Amino acid sequence: MAKVYRIKQGLDIKLKGKAESIIKQEHANPNEYALKPTDFAGLTPKLTVREGDTVKAGTPLFYDKYHPEVKYVSPVSGVVKEVRRGERRRILEVVVSKNEGAIEYETFDANENASIDEIKKVMLEAGIFPAIKQRPYDIVADPHTKPKAVFVSAFDTAPLAVDYDFVINRNLDAFHAGLRILSKFAPLYLNVGPTSSRKIYEGSKEAKVSIFRGPHPASNVGTQINKLNPINKDEVVWTIAPQDIIILGRLFEEKKYDARILTAVCGSEIINPLYVELPKGFAVKEVLCGNLKDDNTIRIISGNVLTGTKIEETGYLGFYSSQITVIPEGDEYEFLGWAKPGFGKMSVSRTFFSWLNMNKKYELSSNLHGEERAFVMTDEYDKVFPMDILPVQLLKAILAKDIDKMEQLGIYEVAPEDFALCEFVCTSKIESQRIVREGLNYLKTELS
């Protein structure tokens, strides 16, 4: 029987607009897809295509300058429409315009029974390898290091998250095939929620299964690693999301890079929250078209409200995202907002009268509700941070650029996403995720 771990510290933010388990496609057929180098922290991309080139699904678009074997491939077949650049010619997006009709795929010589090096080579060639992230640093895994464990979290407790029971059960064979491949690299930890479907984990003999019970971030791999097999200095752990495991499984079953995933289209500004099944990196415009309430200025987020990235209406879904969340932008002033009783204001503290209605579902905007201040309140982060790490002290060590202290306080175990709830609850509006990201980047440049 799987062991149950109980997470006490955390917070479930109840939002309006959770996607129903239905897949609706009729108006969603975007003809543009993009791969964004900015989704991969610390990546320096080298292009392998030019505008106008014809590509198939699985054709490399760029590779990592410092790890040329790690290739980033096109999710669909068609023509490279544009390489969009930002300041100092930094590549922001490589846009592929999809051909009419069925997607054409590159074929890969993927064989589940081959040697581990062969398997790794195919994964690198086929462009699925960047789906594997490593800790420390929360970056695309270095293919040359051997991880001590691979962690998979097959549920999601984040606000409006994808229902992985629904998603995985539709692709159960590919999911298990993917798990079999991953287990060849290192001991595999498969973590599920208390209500997860048994089919997801009972079919998998390779994985050590644990059940995590409790509020968000129970489903964060960071939390799970910290409880099950914490990362020490010089150790590496790999993590990968369930839908990428399905793509990996398909690669070995069908010999092609089929990047179709189920994406939840959710949030309070969506009329009918539902799922779409499309290849990674699709243009969100056509998917959202006709499904938006039009009474507010909106913010479109690739990912969830805690860790996502704001994108434009003409933007594309990020590589690691499996949901599009649309919320009100909240770029308006509120007269004496801090002094109102606040019956409808979401707060972890009970300083607003919203405690009268604990089960209310909220329609939160992206307004900060205040200005940034120095750290004043204490014990706020501890209430939502379940890892055996002192969050404020670690953040302060990062701000002070004190490498020894960062190491001692456990920076190798964390990713920005682990601090998302700290950022949410912070009275002083401190951007913890940005600080952690900068800390990891700093450490990486200093130590290599």
Partner 1 sequence: MKGLRKFLDKQKPAFEKGGKLSMLGSTFRAFDTFLFVPDETAPKRGTQIRDAIDLKRTMSVVVIALIPALLFGMYNVGYQHFKSIGELANQEFFDIFLFGLWKVLPIIVVSYVVGLGIEFAFAQMRGHEVNEGYLVSGMLIPLIMPVEAPLWMVAISVAFAVVIGKEVFGGTGMNIWNPALVARAFFFFAYPKEMSGSEVWIADKADAYSGATPLADAATLVNAAPNETGSILGNMASSWEMFTGFIPGSIGETSVIAILIGAAILLFTGVGSWRIMLSTVVGAVVMGLIFNFFGGNAYMTEIPYWQHLIMGGFAFGTVFMATDPVTAAQTRKGKYIYGFLIGMFAILIRVVNGGFPESMMLSILMMNTFAPLIDHYIIQGNIKRRLKRAKATNAIA
Residues 354-413 that bind partner 1 (CB under 8 A): 354, 364-371, 373-379, 382, 388-390, 392-393, 408-410
Of 46, 47, 48, 352, which one interacts with partner 1 (CB under 8 A)?
Answer: 352
31 binds partner 1 (CB under 8 A): no
Q: Total residues contacting partner 1 (rule CB under 8 A)?
A: 74
**Of 61-69, 183-191, 216-224, 416-424: span binding partner 1 (CB under 8 A):** 416-424
Measure the CA–CA gap between 244 and 221, rounded to whole angstroms.
Answer: 15
Per the CB < 8 A criterion, the answer to whether 105 and 256 are in contact is yes
Measure the CA–CA gap between 329 and 296, rounded to whole angstroms.
Answer: 8
Of 143, 215, 230, 293, which one interacts with partner 1 (CB under 8 A)?
Answer: 230
439 binds partner 1 (CB under 8 A): no
Measure the CA–CA gap between 240 and 394, rounded to whole angstroms.
Answer: 25
Of 218, 305, 395, 414, which one interacts with partner 1 (CB under 8 A)?
Answer: 305
Of 423, 439, 440, 443, which one interacts with partner 1 (CB under 8 A)?
Answer: 423
Beta-bridge mates of residue 135: 237
1 binds partner 1 (CB under 8 A): no
Per residue, the 3-state secondary structure of 250-317, as one string, reads: HHHHHCCCCCEEEEEEECCCECCCEEEEEECCEEHHHHHCCCECCCCCEEEEECCCCCCEEECCCCEC
Per the CB < 8 A criterion, the answer to whether 228 and 140 are in contact is no
Per the CB < 8 A criterion, the answer to whether 29 and 101 are in contact is no
Measure the CA–CA gap between 305 and 178, rounded to whole angstroms.
Answer: 28
Q: How far is CA 73 from the centre of its chain?
A: 18
Least distance in Å: CB of 394 to partner 1?
Answer: 10
Q: Considering only residues 321-340, where is the footprint of partner 1 by CB under 8 A?
A: 325, 327, 329-339
309 binds partner 1 (CB under 8 A): yes
36 binds partner 1 (CB under 8 A): no
Q: Considering only residues 60-79, where is the footprint of partner 1 by CB under 8 A?
A: none
Of 16, 18, 24, 345, which one interacts with partner 1 (CB under 8 A)?
Answer: 345
Phi-psi region of 205 (alpha: psi -120 to 50; beta: other; left: phi over 0): alpha
CB nearer to partner 1: pick between 67 and 345:
345
Q: Considering only residues 249-288, where is the footprint of partner 1 by CB under 8 A?
A: none
CB nearer to partner 1: pick between 166 and 424:
424
